[in-house]
Amino acid sequence: MPMIETINLTKRYGELTALNSLNLTINEGDCFGFIGPNGAGKTTTIKVLATLLKPSSGQAQIAGLTVGYQNRQIRPLIGYVPDFMGAYQDMVVHEYLEFFAAAYNINGMQRKKVVNDVLELTDLTYKQTAEVNGLSRGMQQRLSIARVLLHDPKVLLMDEPASGLDPRARIEIRELLKELKKMGKTILISSHILHELAELCNTVGIIEKGELLFNGTVDEILRRAKVGHVIHVGVAERLQDAAKVLQTMPGIEKVSIVQGDGTAHGGGTGQLIHAQFDARMGGDFTDIPNVLVNNGLRMTHFQEEPVNLETAFMRLTKGLVQ
């Protein structure tokens, strides 16, 4: 069942449209990666879902409850992790967590147990007497996650949780999110570290200029991005002739000659032909070797350019911002 759903969600700031008829569905237990350039509308979407912003039009729902009308029922169900945490002066870690536990009406021995549990889950037990303001950026992000876990929410909304972290801290946050995923949490996470999202998330959404360009599984987005993929071809000689032959093949949109990476010997100088192929135009790129041989050309290199989440993002977006 859908745990998060937006229906024609629109948010305007004066004449600026930050979100334009966003339709998004995230099912219970999904880990959803929200991708887009800065200014695309990711943070606005997350703040609407966190009940911090009211939509200009359309709807946003959490577990069937409508944002803006049922906020009191929604807030116990969600945990919101902003890109930078706020902290109170002179508080130590366990005081910080006890303060928020009290705000969630967790009292007495139950409060102590819950605080100890989230400290252990986020591997912060040894830091419980440290001042919050003295923690590293990575430790503060883990503490921010510990804070939102105090009331055991069903939904986690995370806005760039790995932003500004060193590689070790990013890995630690990623492993923590994997544990939360195993616990059955529904997670929406925005990030620019796309290879980590591909490893963590089962569904992905790409947003640009306030509009959702794609919403589906990681495999689906990779298949979609492979429309228009690139084939690297090397020949022993007559490189220009080979390029002209490829240019006439059905499905090939563009042919260019580039310097290779030193592992191929096309043209005897390490040059390769890059053929941009679009299956929608007809043809099959696996015919390339036969076509070259039939034209008296000896192929020395043939490789399909791999498509990952980063290349898919670059191919499916234009870099537009508000």
Q: Which two tokens stand for residue 31?
A: 């880990």
Q: Give 30-66 pLDDT, tens digit per residue.
A: 999 998 888 889 999 999 999 999 999 999 999 999 9
- Whether residue 173 is found in the same domain as residue 108: yes
Of 81, 28, 77, residue with least CA distance to 202? 28
Q: What do you get for the CA distance between the two ends of the chain, in Å? A: 33
- Whether residue 18 is found in the same domain as residue 57: yes
Residue 316 within any structural domain of the chain: no
Please give the pLDDT value at position 254.
85
Please give the pLDDT value at position 262.
45
Residue 88 within any structural domain of the chain: yes
Question: What is the rounded CA–CA span in Å between residue 77 and residue 237?
Answer: 65
Please give the pLDDT value at position 308.
64
Residue 311 within any structural domain of the chain: no
Q: Which helix (H) or strand (E) holds 288?
A: helix 288-294
Among 168, 199, 217, the domain boundary falls at 217
- Whether residue 41 is found in the same domain as residue 155: yes
Residue 148 within any structural domain of the chain: yes
Domain that holds residue 260: 227-306
pLDDT above 70: percentage of residues in the chain? 86
- Whether residue 265 is found in the same domain as residue 204: no
Residue segments in the chain with a per-residue pLDDT below the cut of 70: 87, 222-228, 260-269, 279-283, 306-322
- Whether residue 104 is found in the same domain as residue 208: yes
User: In this structure, what CATH number is given to the domain that contains residue 84?
Assistant: 3.40.50.300
Residue 159 within any structural domain of the chain: yes
Residue 315 within any structural domain of the chain: no
- Whether residue 118 is found in the same domain as residue 206: yes
Please give the pLDDT value at position 70.
96
The DSSP bridge partners found for residue 158 are 81, 189
Sign, CA torsion 145/151/152/153:
negative
Residue 61 within any structural domain of the chain: yes
Residue 295 within any structural domain of the chain: yes
Q: Which two tokens stand for residue 168?
A: 């070790």
- Whether residue 59 is found in the same domain as residue 205: yes
- Whether residue 7 is found in the same domain as residue 107: yes
Among 217, 249, 271, the domain boundary falls at 217
- Whether residue 173 is found in the same domain as residue 232: no
Question: What is the rounded CA–CA span in Å between residue 186 and residue 183?
Answer: 9
- Whether residue 73 is found in the same domain as residue 164: yes
- Whether residue 99 is found in the same domain as residue 12: yes
Q: What is the pTM of this model?
A: 0.75
User: In this structure, what CATH number is given to the domain that contains residue 260?
Assistant: 3.30.70.260
- Whether residue 239 is found in the same domain as residue 205: no
Number of domains making up the chain: 2
Among 183, 217, 251, the domain boundary falls at 217
The neighbour count for residue 158, using CB atoms within 10 Å, is 25
Phi then psi for residue 30, to 5 deg, are: -75, 150
Q: Give 136-178 pLDDT, tens digit per residue.
A: 888 998 999 999 999 999 999 999 888 777 888 888 888 898 9
